[in-house]
Amino acid sequence: MDKELFDFVAERADVLAVANTSKQETKDAALAWKDAVAADAASADAATQALLDFLENRMVTIDQVIAFAQGPAAQMFGEEAAAKMLEEQLRRKEQGAKYCNCEAHTAAGELLEKFGRIEL
């Protein structure tokens, strides 16, 4: 893996490892990537494939975000915040967005797209 690609993956793994929107298992997968490449830089390709395999089927679609905004978001964040969330996500969908735009999903999506696993 060349340095530019390595840095691209490392930046997104850093986000996934600490983002408030990352589930613990996602944080653990990102930290496993970081530990693997710290122990042996030659393992970067295999570690990256493992991280991508983990992330691939975990992307939250825009429709799932909209459903969340229409339902549980009101109880979690209040009616006004949920309405704003819904408005923003409907606008994003109209503009062609396919996935959640939280910090964790943005980083995961960029990784998956870079390696040809999804289209953003």
Tens of pLDDT, residues 50-84: 999 999 999 999 999 999 999 999 999 999 999 99
Residue 119 included in any domain: no
Residue at token pair 């009616």: 79
Q: Are residues 54 and 107 in the same domain?
A: yes
Q: Are residues 20 and 46 in the same domain?
A: yes
Q: How many domains does the chain have?
A: 2
CB proximity list for 99: less than 8 A, separation 6 or greater: 59, 60, 61, 62, 105, 109, 118, 120
Q: Are residues 23 and 46 in the same domain?
A: yes
**Mean pLDDT, rounded, for 10-34:** 97
How does pLDDT run across 41-59, given as a tens digit for each residue?
899 999 999 999 999 999 9
Q: Are residues 46 and 13 in the same domain?
A: yes
Q: Which domain holds residue 68?
A: 62-94
pTM of the model: 0.92
Residue 120 included in any domain: no
